[in-house]
Each structure stands twice: as structure tokens, then as C-alpha cells.
Amino acid sequence: MQKKSRANFLKILLAGTACSLTALAASPAMAAYPDKPIVIVVPFSPGGSTDQIGRMIAQHFTNEFNVPVVVENKPGASGTVGNSYVARAKPDGYTLLIGGTDITASQFLYKDLPYDPEQAFTPIGIVSEFPFLMLVDIKRNITTVQEFVDYAKKNPDKITFSSAGMGNSTHLAGETFKQAAQLDGMVHVPYNGSSQALTAVISGQVDTVFDTAITAAPLVTGGKANALGVVAQKRLPLLPDVPTMSELGYKEFDQLAPWSWKGLFAPSDTPQDILDKLQKSLAGLLEDPEFQKRIEASASLVVAPQSTTSAKQFLTDQRKGWSKLISDANVQPM
């Protein structure tokens, strides 16, 4: 009788252990990341540089992880809408963000951000750097920055510049130029993305725009716009006859390098093993010759893979630079 009771006890114990192991194996917490679709949030409209980079990364992750990786555009308030969405997201690696200057400059432009840009996100890596072009509609027959300044000073009450949104790098480039060229009457016209800001220029609605070469250069090579200057440390091989703003005497643009960039971010508190997996995959993309060719062909610059520590230092340096530049341009927080 005692042996029978012991046998029954062992059966119950083994059965319970088996159930526990089955439940543990089926537990979502134990599932290998990723096992469901990943969303990459782009906080601007489709078609701009942020969107293009987001889609390149999404395609790479789709191939790498064998799960769908989709881009969701959440434009509004110069990136604040999309950034806030990701800041509130569950830190499980399934909601990521393509960020740039909006991550490092927004705290100096907005008084009541719904998130803390220094604490809300963890950088997975910086992806690329973007030189800027100053564009005008080709029908204006303006081919140099000096011609534009002369025209602006003759028409002080109607000069405008567009941007991809209040407070992002396209806006701040325009404000820096406005201050440096002493065009006090030039009015800023913000849009919800680069594609709209560029369209406003080539359609004649506004006079000029500073935007990334990745989105602006095709308008120049396609004969729709003239590039007057480059915001970069050197001329672009794609447009070798276009001088840098520094060459033209606008040294104010040298305060910050790079002027524009894009990076991949996760919500803070994302587990380190997930961050490591994403960072390793992103490094593979950055070292891929085909990706590098695509970036360079778009008049942009490839960035070497970085550690989390170096990426955080990059963000710290950018915040210092934008704080000074925003103050110098006399842009008041909203």
C-alpha cells in the first residue's frame, strides 16, 4: 500500500512538472525575439529623408528576422506626435523610432513636451548623416546665394522659407540663414514633412527651403530647382559646382556637424538582450556595401556602427550644439 501511494505521488509530481514545463515553454516571455511584427515609427510624412531611412531599415529587419517590419508615419508637431507615441510604447522591441534633430533640439524649442527626450529613448544606433541643400524654384532664375539675398532685400515683406516642421533641422537651417544674412522679414512656413516643404518651393508658394540632399538633390538633377549652397563640411560629389555655405561666408553653419542625421531608437527600459540583437542587425546593414552605395548615391554620408555609449555621447554633443545655435538664432521656445 505504501509503495502504491509513493508511485501515485511520483506520477502526480511528474505530471505537474510536465505541465509546468509546457506552460513555461509556451510563455510569451520565453519566446525568442522577435516573434511578431515590428513597427518602426516615422514621425514625419511619407517621402522625406526620415521616411526613406525608416523603409530601408524595415526591409533589412524583415529579411534578417523573418517577421513583418512595417513603417508607420505619424506626422505632427515637428515629430512630437510620433516621438510621444514611441515614448509611451511598451519597451519590448516591437515599437521603434526613427529620430534625428527632433530628438536633440526639441527640448530647447518647446516648453511643455509630453516626454523627456533625454530619458524616453535608448539609441540603437546612428544610421546616416545628411548634408543640406538650399533650394529655389528654377523658374525664379536665381542661381547663387548672393542673388537670393539681393532679391530678398529688394522684397523684404514677402520673402518666405518652408520647412518640414517647426523646430526640426530644416526649420533651424532657415532661421540660421535668416539671421546670418540679416533678412529679418523672412517668414517661416512650416509643413508636416519634407515632401510638402519641397513641393511648396517648386510650385512657387514659398521662396526657398533648406532640406536634406537625399530628398532635395533629385529636384536639382531633375531640372526643377536650383541648389544655391550646401550645408556640409565639403562639396557634394553629386553637385560639385555648388559651394558650401561656409565657402560663401556663412560660417554660422559650421557650429554643428553633422547638421542633420537619422538614428534608430527604442523606448527606455527595453531589455538589453533585445537592444543587442537590434544593434547587431543594424551594424550589419551599415556595413552592407549595397546599403552604403544607396546612401552615397543620394548625396548622404554613411555612418560606421557605434556602441550605445558612443551614440549617447553623440546625442549629448548634438544637444549642446543645438542649444547654442537656437539661442544664437533667437528662436524662442513655444
- Going by pLDDT thresholds of 50, 70 and 90, the confidence category of residue 30 is low
Span 104-152, pLDDT tens digits: 988 898 888 999 999 999 999 999 988 999 999 999 999 999 999 999 9
Predicted confidence (pLDDT) at residue 15 exceeds the cutoff of 70: no
With a pLDDT cut of 70, the percent of the chain lying above it is 91
3-state secondary structure (DSSP) of residue 248: coil
Overall pTM surpassing 0.85 (yes/no): no
Q: Quote the mean pLDDT of the chain.
A: 89
Place of cell 527595453: 270
Is 63 exposed, middle or buried, given 0-12, 13-18 or 19+ CB atoms closer than 10 A?
A: exposed
- Going by pLDDT thresholds of 50, 70 and 90, the confidence category of residue 26 is very low
Span 74-85, pLDDT tens digits: 998 878 899 999
What element of type H or E holds 156? none
Place of cell 542587425: 281
- Going by pLDDT thresholds of 50, 70 and 90, the confidence category of residue 25 is very low
pLDDT for the residue 78: 78
What element of type H or E holds 128? strand 121-130
Span 289-321, pLDDT tens digits: 999 998 888 888 888 998 889 999 999 999 999
